[in-house]
Structure 1
Amino acid sequence: MNKKIKVPLEWAKIRDLVFQALDLELIENLKQDPHKVNREILSIIRNIISIGNAYISLDESNALASMICDEIIGYGPLDSLMNDHSINDILVNGPFNIYVEKEGSLIKTNKFFISDRQLLDIARRLVNKIGKNLDEAHPLVDSRLPDGSRLNVVIPPITIDGVSLSIRKFGAGNRTFSELINFGTLDESMANFLVIAARCRMNIIVSGGTGAGKTTMLNVLSQFINDNERTITLEDAAELRLQQDHVVRMETRAGGEDGRGKVTMRNLLINALRMRPDRIILGECRGEEAFEMLQAMNTGHNGSMSTLHANTARDALSRLESMVLMAQSELPLNAIRRYISSSINFIIQISRLPDGQRKVTSITEVVGIESDQIVTHDIFKFKIHEERDTNSKIQGSFVFNGLVRRSALYDAAQYYKLAEILEDLMMKAGGVTK
């Protein structure tokens, strides 16, 4: 929808009068029956019109009553968007500009809030539900909704054009490699390779940009963790959905205005190392905790995984170097690189292409270090073709470059009795191992 949304001025006035007249206790008792709530609101609207405080048509009265009902019971105009499983992100830029991300593309919807006041009231109620405040002293809130969706709210004067509200929806269920293959995110050989890597307890970094699908990939990989392994997950906002029984989930905490009660990712990671984990899964590595994460990967917690923001596998390694320096500035760079090369086995690079498609653009092995430089090898690579399909979608193919003979995966596959399967897979992928 491109034309500008115009809401009658009377709607905002009537909404405020409705909330002044509402019997909140009655509404609370009626919440289980939206039809009764709607009738009560409609009755109040008609009364407001009858005494001459404002006037709107019968059709407008019904539409306004429905919007106020949605606001009281749920997310207001966002209700239907929250229930649409094809939508990944909901982005609100003021009351009349609501966008969604669907199939990799941003689309403006025909949804709207009645006024700035309604948008702010709904944002505050969402934030209050999770035990936080939204006001001039707390104009920025980043947290998790009860259903697991990530919520970010910014209000004026930080935002210039009204309240900004962003929701990264929590998926209705775990994706599988079969689904990702059907979506064209990767091919069967790559999926089977990653299954073996996960089962053989390789240390894996999933790298990519915002919205590329890093957490989705981490969730899929976690499905191949053995049930008898103790796994600890550490996140800023809980999005991982491990199906195993023996899982301990932990989440960071912002703390009060004076910083008391704050629990950082580094705090969680240091504590997790004392909890006898078999594997540690870090939702996102973004700072000083990188050093402890590498320490965990290097001291017997094989099969640990994390995501980080980077555009290529090489960029991911550079970011790790920078993050370790944040925590251990006295360490020389060559020592940090040796530490990284001995800790990480594979980097899965995921990208969201300009046309919205999500692709695993490379699966890279960290082979070792030579002349103080980390040596990597792209096992799989997505090669973009020049021609587009009939819908102007980017075309390409997944290319197998072979697995180096000195790969740590070979030894692990022997131990886990998956060596023959790995050899067969490599042969079927169309290349001879190097």
Structure 2
Amino acid sequence: MFGRFTNSQVDVRIEPQVEAEPVPRITHIASQEMPADPMLHLKVELHSHLIDRFNLAVLETATRDQILNDIRPIVRDFVRTAAVAINARELDQLTLDTADEMLGLGPIEPLLKDDSIADILINTHRRVFIERRGVLEETGIRFRDEAHLLRVVNKIVAAVGRRVDESMPMVDARLADGSRVNVAVRPISIDGPLVSIRKFSRRPYSLERLVEFNSIRPPMIELLRIAVQAKKSILVSGGTGSGKTTLLNALSNYISPRERLITIEDAAELQLQQPHVGRLETRPPNVEGKGEVRQRELVKNALRMRPDRIIVGEVRGEEAFDMLQAMNTGHEGSMTTIHANTPRDALGRMEQMVGMAGTAMTQESIRGQIASAIDIIVQTQRLSDGGRRVVSISELTGMEGHVVQLQEIYHFIRRDVATDGTIIGEFRATGVRPRFAQEAATLGLHFAKDAFNPQVVL
């Protein structure tokens, strides 16, 4: 019988049914449009069919061959009853994929393989949502029960040496492909586990590719390329899901392959393309509350690793002070991201974070450190139509009195909203030429003649 343990082996056969279960009708996982993988809907329905028939706990000890032997006839009957037209080779591939997914992350494995999906949002075992091209859609995917979902969650967090339980009900983790995972379980998640998976493209985005999505325009790319190559320190600011990390990855493409980069993250997700990259990741405390490694300690350690640039995935607290110190002491061209709605808000948040370090610095001296360390602030925003835009690029020009001075170089202007909800707007220059243009020219980096003409729609 399936799920019966013996002293000699684990029997993983399907429990015999007195009456054959009806095969469910094939339904779409979402009403919007077909995903990139044409077999995705079939896999989703097949998973739902298998969930109710397998002893899921035994899967953790079953071999791939055992699973294949038991699911092969079920998959064949399922496809025949559902009247899906596939050939023998496709049927074999579907069986192999299903076995791999049952050994992997179960029902959500097909979603992880669909490159058109950006986010997977699991609201307890009953409901799974996805985000595709900025639009949220509910899927037909489900887990058998809360225990099934928790088994998948524990598989994710254990792979990166972390844990999630009542004593530590929140955790950040990552998948093998670099996708970022956040998990919240009871008691803080009242109705059951909540899982958020932020996927990253297997083909890293370049700034040129972002032009195709109307997220940025070529003259803005040229400005950022020259800023990176001239070793200007850049702060990418924006809200959740606005594309900060995507932009940071794209900016790193312009860093010379001869430079040594050290990246520091809570959950490693940056996909830098340079050959000389050292990756550091924080570590939470163990069961005894010991062994924690915070971002601030990693930034300090990175300074001893002979980096040319330090890239922090996101500054959230006291490590902002050490990041500014690094930028001011020979590590120009470093980059990081921050959660803020405007460039001015980003400066205010940075100031607060430096204050968290507990240093005896006045507000004026903190602002002076920020003004001398950061050269460019790139503001990203997720608009109401789901599109992501670089809505502002500003340059820090120093201090005037007690205030850090900003001058905006490019911005996005909203004009209207189309009948389908699409934001209509245009990118324009403000007419301000960046102060570092002359310094860049000495390095052989030149801007186009009309790059900063405010009369030209970019």
**TM more than 0.5:** yes
Q: Distance in 2 between matches of 1:12 and 1:226?
A: 50
Q: Tell me the secondary structure at the aligned position of residue 381 of structure 2.
A: strand
Q: Which has the higher helix share?
A: 1
Matches within 5 A, 1:86-105: 86-105=116-135
Q: Distance in 1 between matches of 2:96 and 2:124?
A: 21
Note closer, same or farther for the CA distance 1:23–1:122 as it changes in structure 2 (3 Å cut). closer
Q: What residue in structure 1 maps to residue 330 of structure 2?
A: 300
Matches within 5 A, 1:33-112: 35-39=68-72, 69=99, 72-112=102-142
Q: Tell me the secondary structure at the aligned position of residue 78 of structure 1.
A: helix
Quick one: which amino acid aligns to residue 215 of structure 1? T
Q: Distance in 2 between matches of 1:380 and 1:216?
A: 19
- Is 1:410 aligned to 2:445, yes or no? no
Q: Tell me the secondary structure at the aligned position of residue 242 of structure 1.
A: coil
Which of the numbers 119, 124, 141 marks the counterpart of 2:149?
A: 119
Q: Distance in 2 between matches of 1:186 and 1:19?
A: 47
Q: Distance in 2 between matches of 1:299 and 1:77?
A: 49
Q: Distance in 2 between matches of 1:327 and 1:95?
A: 40
Which of the numbers 250, 253, 259 marks the counterpart of 1:223?
A: 253
Q: Is the 8 A contact 1:403 1:426 kept in 2?
A: no
- Is 1:30 aligned to 2:65, yes or no? yes
Q: What residue in structure 2 maps to residue 130 of structure 1?
A: 160
Note closer, same or farther for the CA distance 1:259–1:296 as it changes in structure 2 (3 Å cut). same
- Is 1:189 aligned to 2:219, yes or no? yes
Q: Is the 8 A contact 2:429 2:452 kept in 1?
A: no
- Structure 1 residue runs of 4+, over 4 Å off? 10-16, 22-25, 40-43, 65-71, 427-431
Q: What residue in structure 2 maps to residue 377 of structure 1?
A: 407
Quick one: which amino acid aligns to residue 393 of structure 1? T
Q: What residue in structure 1 maps to residue 421 of structure 2?
A: 392
Tell me the CA shift for residue 414 of structure 1.
Answer: 2.8
Tell me the CA shift for residue 28 of structure 1.
Answer: 1.2
Quick one: which amino acid aligns to residue 192 of structure 2? G
Q: What residue in structure 1 maps to residue 174 of structure 2?
A: 144
Q: Distance in 2 between matches of 1:416 and 1:163?
A: 53
Tell me the CA shift for residue 15 of structure 1.
Answer: 4.3
Q: What residue in structure 2 maps to residue 248 of structure 1?
A: 278
Note closer, same or farther for the CA distance 1:409–1:77 as it changes in structure 2 (3 Å cut). same
Q: Greater shift after overlay, 329-338 or 373-382? A: 329-338
TM-score by length of 1: 0.84
Q: Distance in 2 between matches of 1:315 and 1:23?
A: 50
The alignment yields a C-alpha RMSD, in angstroms, of 3.1
Q: Greater shift after overlay, 356-365 or 92-101? A: 92-101
Gaps of 5+ in 1: 47-57
Q: Distance in 2 between matches of 1:69 and 1:107?
A: 26
Q: Is the 8 A contact 2:430 2:454 kept in 1?
A: no
Q: What residue in structure 2 maps to residue 52 of structure 1?
A: none
Q: Is the 8 A contact 2:52 2:144 kept in 1?
A: no
Q: What residue in structure 2 maps to residue 315 of structure 1?
A: 345
Aligned length: 401
Which of the numbers 447, 450, 455 marks the counterpart of 1:422?
A: 447
Deviations 1:358-405 (A, max 9, x none): 0101000011111111111110011110x2234220111111013346
Gaps of 5+ in 2: 1-28, 32-44, 83-94
